[in-house]
Chain A
Amino acid sequence: MITGMIVDDATVMRIRLRDILESRYKIVAEASNGQEALDLYEQYHPDFVTLDITMPQMNGIEALQMLVTLHPEAKVVIVSAVGQKKMVFEAIAKGARDFIIKPFDPNRVLVAIDRLFE
């Protein structure tokens, strides 16, 4: 079964994303900041990662950059409220496969993850 990791500093958002994604995927880890995400990726090697941007300690853009450098195969979808055009371009340029802006439609999340494995 395809495995995933949810990275978001808001517990409520991690619960919501887990509820949406567990209908099709196995969520093996949750992280609340970028550093924790890097540590848990090493431990679980999930097939995909949903990554927030605005987080304490290490933000999502920094984590994305480090994750993709260390693991070029990592499949990362950004899920963030900060969907400014420049931010979206920066995330995609740094290796994100998609960018979902909060608030989101649950189907948009499932379609984005499904596309990673087509």
Chain B
Amino acid sequence: MKAEYANVFVRGATTVFTQEVGVNLSRTGLTRKNAPVPNLPISIVIGITGGIRGQVVYSMDQTFAYAVTKAMIPNKLPSELKKLTNSAVSEIANMITGQASIALAGENDLIHLTPPAVFSGSDMTVDFLSIPTICLSFISEIGSMEINIAFTEGGGAR
């Protein structure tokens, strides 16, 4: 998988976190694996079709997700924030993937994103695509997050 895929997601994530959450996100690592299986308890899965096909899987813990929610809608009560956590992290994942898609599509391509799907808990069973994956790790003052990017070009993802 091309290195440029990683770069556009790093740029997208740092931009979105600066603007929407008000924190600096720093990349701490890049690893390669065989599928975008997440390492942290909350996962947000976005499917990609069009010029590029595959999945992007965001992963974070509860504390991180709550801090993101609080930053996005600061005037809500803690009980309301807890209910809105899935919505907030979905939207953050959607914005980062959207930013990356703008860079990847360029002038002539069109890349479609599926609405984000959130999964959490130890009983999570999700079918992840078995395709080469780049896992980007990030750290910030509110905790850690990872982005698993699993793309194929032209051929079908299985």
Contacts and interface: CB of A to CB of B under 8 A. Distances in A.
Interface of A: 9-13, 15-16, 19, 54-56, 80-87, 101-103
B84 A12 contact: yes
7 nearest A-B pairs in the assembled complex, by CB-CB distance? A81-B98, A84-B105, A10-B91, A11-B87, A103-B19, A12-B87, A12-B88
5 contacts: A54-B94, A82-B111, A102-B91, A102-B95, A103-B15
Interface string B71-108: 01101100000001001101100110111011001111
Given A9-B115, A12-B87, A16-B73, 9 more contacts: A10-B90, A15-B76, A56-B115, A82-B111, A84-B102, A86-B105, A87-B110, A101-B102, A103-B20
Interface in B8-55: 15-16, 19-20
Interface in B96-151: 97-99, 101-102, 105-115
Tell me if B's interface is mostly helix, strand, loop or mixed: helix
A10 B111 CA distance: 20
B69 interface: yes
Given A10-B91, A16-B72, A82 B107 contact: no
A12 B105 contact: no
Contacts of A84: 101-102, 105, 109-111
A47 to B, nearest CB: 26
B87 A82 contact: no
A13 B91 contact: yes
B90 to A, nearest CB: 6
A24 B91 CA distance: 25
Nearest to A56: B115
Nearest to B103: A84
A23 to B, nearest CB: 14
A80 B84 CA distance: 19
Contacts of B19: 103
B97 to A, nearest CB: 7
Nearest to A11: B87
Contacts of B110: 84, 86-87
B20 A10 contact: no
A54 B114 CA distance: 7
